[in-house]
Amino acid sequence: MPMSTLDLWSPAARRDPAPLYAQLRAEAPLVQLAGPFDGKPVWLALRYAATQDALRDARLCKDLRRLDPAARARLCTFFQAGDDEVNTSMFARSMLNVDPPDHTRLRSLVSRAFTPRRIAELRGEIAAITAEVLDGLRGRETLDFLDEVAFPIPIRVIAGMLGVPFEDRERFRGWAHAIMLPPLPDLRERRLAAVLEMRAYFDALFARRRGALGDDLVSALLAVEEEGDRLDTDEVFGMVGLLLIAGYETTVNLLASGTLALLQHPEQLARLRAEPQRIDTAVEELLRLAGPVELAPGRVFVEDTVFHGQTIRAGELVLPVVMAANRDPEVFPEPERFDIDRAPNRHLAFGSGIHHCLGAPLARLEAAVAVPMILDRLPRLRLAVPAATIAWTSGLPVRGLQRLPVRID
């Protein structure tokens, strides 16, 4: 099929990509665009079925080490990353970007910390953290909800799980922001510097922790490394870095974007305030319409493949567009309608298949605990500026707010 002429990377599309995705989704399940830097094909999986299959199909490769040099160079160009960045990236050796059997081994090790029982035990801690954050707002009239509410709750939760010092939270935030910058040439050095700084920090932390293992996830991963060759230091760094950034970056944006969605739909907000038992279905709808993941990580076929009626050449990038799939009218009636009682709600906010987000139960629990407490403790919560003036980040794959000015007086 001919390449679409629509520009996914334009400033207008980055401000609000949903209308563009709707237009592309109406054309076909898969749409081919020209890459932003070299003009070579990039495939967007837009309809629900195509996106879900792109997330699940075992023929699609996520491990750059398995690609031939030409395909690897192609992806480095797309992501504006050299081999130096790929090789040092925390994500290159994490379960996010490896295939079985390495993925199976890594996920089985980390999943011990994310059992339903372990996550359920965090409910009281999340409530206590949320209460402390809200207590600190007494007497305030205006604030940046993103910075003062949405950020401190998840960073404290994941820092506690990993056993990393909470007082270093601003460093983690700065690194995460740089690492998640959009793939633009002039931002490459900032991304690489953040990865290298984060690696030096964790190398020092690992050295200290090996001498005094504790009851935390970093200690558990290091203990496995000490017992044999199942985890090397690069893999430990990849897992810890991924969990730290993914463990709070996405939840921060869910809390902030979800709160904005509720404030923009006062009838739904009033219903949730009056009947907080609706929170579980409300969280699923927030994930569907205000979820932080715009695109799932890219992947490629290692050989020419027919996929949803299109011939995709080996090495051509396939991007599962979660935002578009979650608004597919073939799956979600009236997809643009925000409904906290929507059921069923088979969104793909956490992905699908073997790479389904391991932290999904934790993110759901944090939102289910924090949102009702926020609405109860801040009964006059409202926007301090017109919604149309609130700026969004332009990064991919995570979409979020730059600030969320609110009034609580």
The answer to whether position 137 is within a domain reads yes
The burial class, CB within 10 Å (0-12 / 13-18 / 19+), for 105 is: middle
Alpha carbons 171 and 155: distance in angstroms, whole number: 11
Alpha carbons 383 and 404: distance in angstroms, whole number: 8
The answer to whether position 347 is within a domain reads yes
The helix (H) or strand (E) run that includes residue 45 is strand 41-45
In total, how many domains does the chain have?
A: 1
The answer to whether position 403 is within a domain reads yes
Q: Is the pLDDT of residue 77 over 70?
A: no
The answer to whether position 2 is within a domain reads no
The answer to whether position 97 is within a domain reads yes
The burial class, CB within 10 Å (0-12 / 13-18 / 19+), for 250 is: buried
How high is the pLDDT of residue 308? Answer: 96
Average pLDDT, stretch 123-139?
A: 97
58 Cβ neighbours under 8 A, 6+ residues apart: 100
What CATH number should be reported for the domain holding residue 50?
Answer: 1.10.630.10
Q: Give the other-Cβ count within 10 Å of 309's Cβ.
A: 10
The answer to whether position 121 is within a domain reads yes
pTM equals 0.91
The answer to whether position 144 is within a domain reads yes
The answer to whether position 16 is within a domain reads yes
Confidence band, pLDDT 50/70/90 cuts, at residue 24: very high
Q: Is the pLDDT of residue 186 over 80?
A: no
Domain that holds residue 255: 11-407
How high is the pLDDT of residue 102? Answer: 87
Confidence band, pLDDT 50/70/90 cuts, at residue 96: confident
Q: Write the DSSP string, 242-257.
A: HHHHHHHHHHHHHHHH
209 Cβ neighbours under 8 A, 6+ residues apart: 163, 218, 219, 222
